[in-house]
Structure 1
Amino acid sequence: MTQTAPPASDDVVPGAEIYTPEFRADPYPVYARLRAERPVVKVRTPRFDSFLVTRYEDARQALSDARLSKDLYRAGDTYLAVFGEKARQINTNMLNSDPPEHSRLRRLVTQAFTPRRIEAMRPRVEEIVEGLLDRMAPTGRCEFVDEFALRLPLAVIGDLLGIPESDHEEILAGTQVIRTVGTGGRSPQEDRAAIGQAQERLHAYFTGLVAAKRARPGEDLVSALITARDGDGRLSEAELVSTCFLLLFAGYQTTSDFLGNAIVALLTHPEEMAELLADLDRVPDAVEELLRFDGSVPVSSFRFATEDLQIGGVTVPAGSIVTIVLSSANHDPALVDDPDALDLSRGDTPHMAFGHGVHYCLGTALARLEATTALRRILVRLPDLQLDVPVEDLQWLPAASAFRGLLELPLRYTPTP
């Protein structure tokens, strides 16, 4: 693809030109045009402007640039305009901090989020997967998002955090209000109010959970986080509650959406699906290509420029919000040949589905464990798997959502005992 010179920093694109109904279903042609014509461009939406970074090398550099801060409290009025004051209580965590504070928080969380702890969860993940498929397999039809994709990671992260199973529906209700914002026919003001209420309920829930675990510790991650130390320091109460909120979304919503995306990708590429069915040992490699091809986190969380800087030859003024488009970087020809093709035989590629730099996702091992276990068993337990609606009728999350995923995924297959 021929790449043109970067645009001037005062080049502004209305968000309506990018976030169209067509973009919602398939954003990759838009990303290709941006990489070719406007690889770093300011996009204007009703609430704020943001510089989109769409090329792979620019994205890698931006994700490692200390001048792009994740501590949005430092952004002052910019932060408040985007998120509102009430969001502060759920954002006091490592995702929204810079070194050295980020380093302290990540060390404390890493102590409790060890590979050994994750590997020890393998039998439980397998048990949850089989239990869900036991209910689905005899019916011959399912709505995959509700019956499997949401349920597996919620059960896994619930076990990890020590959330009682009886509370799962309460957690599900709150998270889905946030995830599906923009789909209920509400006004933007009503959407913001609904999100605020859901965040407050979840914050109250995790405040109570931390208090309960402090009074009666268990073998769960929250109890481990309460006792984790870094020298003489521990996580504060606000940091504990906010970290629980972060781990819930990072360990649940992203995996849920990815599972649906992966199933659609396989069903719309039958030759690749057939080759995978013939050799299920390839599932781990297939997961990596599926993450690159259509991951569930299309963009990084917001950063803001602490000083004037250049990205891809474009001047980004101090105070600007910057969004790195991970999905676009993963489809850059600079990363792989024929990037818009699903090729499960590519082998390992340095995709950005889990980010890059100091904020690289801490839960990659858990996400891979869940995805590989789920896909391997789905392919075995649900034979002759097919979409139960035309692919063009699938309903995706709103174009400007923080997640890339489906509202529903109707499937059919040959019933089995």
Structure 2
Amino acid sequence: MSKPTTEKLPVEFLFSPEFSRDPYTQYGALRERGPVHAVEFIPGTDIPAFLVIDYEHGRAALNDPRLAKGSRHAPAFFHREEVRTNPALAENMLNADPPDHTRLRKLVTKAFTPRRTESLRPRIQEITDGLVDAMEPRGRAELIDDFAFPLPVTVICELLGVPTEDRDDFRRWSSILLTPAFTAEEIRLRDEVNAAIHAYFGAITAARRADPRDDLVSALVTAHDEEDLLSDQELIAALTLLLIAGHETTVNLIGNGMLALLTHPGQLRLLQDRPELIPAAIEEFLRYDGPVERATLRFATEDMEIAGVAVPKGSIVQISLGAAGRDPALVDAPDTLDITRADVRHVAFGHGIHFCLGAPLARLEGLIAFGTLLRRLPGIALDRPVEELGWRSSSIIRGLQALPVRF
């Protein structure tokens, strides 16, 4: 059994502006030293933590039952009041292990079946056309605010049964909850958002009890009230996860994918000429610069090893989905965008029991979004130098702050 490099990566490195701008060059340099790296994830503590950056071991780790998601397996540090996990997200299926994970996932699976997802196609197209109708006469747009965000958030709001006019609140809440809270002010803001979410969904669920509808909120309220399948906290956490995960992935799939095309004009022209390549292009976007850079944390429930590196019981383990997609062992020329690749493999939606439940919906939204944008805005181009674009700071998400375009 081998050891990782003796020098630990400081966690601040993973959240620095330099890293956010170009994580793949940094991952490439790390890969030369090995697939697993020790990280000083909790500065000032001796809690062992590791980052997995290759495809083979990352994919295996995503489905390894020895790497648990439940908070009861987390080091004691995570249970301290000032650093506790987001209460609104703590007890959802993403952060649960079987049998709780099985129970919680089963409650929402029916809403995301391929057949149910496909039935949403006309409505997704209608929303997409309306957004492009509003942008087209202006000749310019900020593609995140004007298109990539309102499209999926409208879809998930309608699926859940929550008012779309509250979407600006959802976006702010999502941004805060996905940003690491290191300072006292950041922790205070996160707790304020959690309180707002509890109040918001508390009112929504109370309204559904009085007036049930054919939506996911009503179904989950029934599971809570009549079938005793959800606790109070699990109900709020499930709704919060569905709202956030239901739009964040697609926002960044569209944003990152369009940026990739706009900075590779040959690939853009090819896709405009051959729209039948859009499904394959989406898989390449997911591999090349996917919407989720690093998976949520896992905790080793026993002494183990990954790629020959000793991982003691109680260790924090995080898998870089983005780095896995750029692994030279996965594809030839991994840093090259090639929308003609056949059978593109990636772990952008995870792997194993925690594979993204909404992946079919995200793919359908992407298919309609890219197809419509390229068909209706053929002259689309960046309206700002790529060097000036900013990236969001997040422990999970890989996404642009803004994407100005002209057409």
TM-score bracket relative to the smaller structure: over 0.9
Choose the corresponding residue for 1:37, options 33, 36, 40.
33
Number of aligned residues: 403
- Could you tell me which residue of structure 2 aligns to residue 411 of structure 1? 405
Q: Do the aligned residues in 1 keep the contact of 2:82 with 2:187 (CA within 8 Å)?
A: no
Instruction: State the one-letter code of the partner of 2:401.
Output: L
SS of the equivalent of 2:57 reads helix
Query: What is the CA–CA distance in structure 2 between the aligned matches of 1:335 and 1:412, rounded to whole Å?
Result: 35
Residues 15 and 235 (structure 1 numbering): CA distance in 2 closer, same or farther, change over 3 Å?
closer
**Counterparts of residues 287-366 of structure 1 (less than 5 Å):** 287-366=282-361
1:276 maps to 2:297: no
Query: What is the CA–CA distance in structure 1 between the aligned matches of 2:376 and 2:109, rounded to whole Å?
Result: 35
Instruction: State the one-letter code of the partner of 2:51.
Output: L
Query: What is the CA–CA distance in structure 2 between the aligned matches of 1:83 and 1:14, rounded to whole Å?
Result: 21
How big is the alpha-carbon RMSD for the aligned residues of Structure 1 and Structure 2?
2.3
Instruction: State the one-letter code of the partner of 1:346.
Output: R
Could you tell me the TM-score, scaled by structure 2's length? 0.93
Q: Do the aligned residues in 1 keep the contact of 2:87 with 2:194 (CA within 8 Å)?
A: no
Residues 114 and 23 (structure 1 numbering): CA distance in 2 closer, same or farther, change over 3 Å?
same
Q: Do the aligned residues in 2 keep the contact of 1:112 with 1:228 (CA within 8 Å)?
A: no
- Structure 1 window deviating more from structure 2 (130-139 vs 202-211): it is 202-211
Choose the corresponding residue for 1:217, options 209, 212, 220.
212
**Offset of 1:60 from its aligned partner?**
1.3
**Offset of 1:165 from its aligned partner?**
2.5
**Counterparts of residues 177-256 of structure 1 (less than 5 Å):** 177-179=176-178, 188-228=183-223, 234-256=229-251
Query: What is the CA–CA distance in structure 1 between the aligned matches of 2:66 and 2:250, rounded to whole Å?
Result: 30
Instruction: State the one-letter code of the partner of 2:39.
Output: V
Deviations 1:148-205 (A, max 9, x none): 11111110100010011232233233223335668xxxx8322222122112212221
- Could you tell me which residue of structure 1 aligns to residue 127 of structure 2? 128
Query: What is the CA–CA distance in structure 1 between the aligned matches of 2:163 and 2:390, rounded to whole Å?
Result: 31
Q: Do the aligned residues in 2 keep the contact of 1:18 with 1:30 (CA within 8 Å)?
A: no
Query: What is the CA–CA distance in structure 1 between the aligned matches of 2:339 and 2:307, rounded to whole Å?
Result: 31
1:12 maps to 2:8: yes
**Offset of 1:8 from its aligned partner?**
3.5
Instruction: State the one-letter code of the partner of 2:37.
Output: V
Residues 211 and 315 (structure 1 numbering): CA distance in 2 closer, same or farther, change over 3 Å?
same
SS of the equivalent of 2:176 reads helix
Query: What is the CA–CA distance in structure 2 between the aligned matches of 1:46 and 1:100, rounded to whole Å?
Result: 29
1:402 maps to 2:396: yes
Query: What is the CA–CA distance in structure 1 between the aligned matches of 2:2 and 2:333, rounded to whole Å?
Result: 23
Query: What is the CA–CA distance in structure 2 between the aligned matches of 1:199 and 1:215, rounded to whole Å?
Result: 24
- Could you tell me which residue of structure 2 aligns to residue 55 of structure 1? 54
**Offset of 1:17 from its aligned partner?**
4.8
Identity %: 46
**Offset of 1:302 from its aligned partner?**
0.4
**Counterparts of residues 364-375 of structure 1 (less than 5 Å):** 364-375=359-370
Instruction: State the one-letter code of the partner of 1:206.
Output: F
- Structure 1 window deviating more from structure 2 (74-83 vs 357-366): it is 74-83
Unaligned segments of structure 2, at least 5 residues: none
**Counterparts of residues 19-168 of structure 1 (less than 5 Å):** 19-45=15-41, 47=43, 50-80=49-79, 84-85=83-84, 87-168=86-167
Residues 81 and 385 (structure 1 numbering): CA distance in 2 closer, same or farther, change over 3 Å?
farther
Q: Do the aligned residues in 1 keep the contact of 2:10 with 2:40 (CA within 8 Å)?
A: yes
Query: What is the CA–CA distance in structure 2 between the aligned matches of 1:127 and 1:248, rounded to whole Å?
Result: 21
Query: What is the CA–CA distance in structure 2 between the aligned matches of 1:76 and 1:13, rounded to whole Å?
Result: 19
- Could you tell me which residue of structure 1 aligns to residue 376 of structure 2? 381
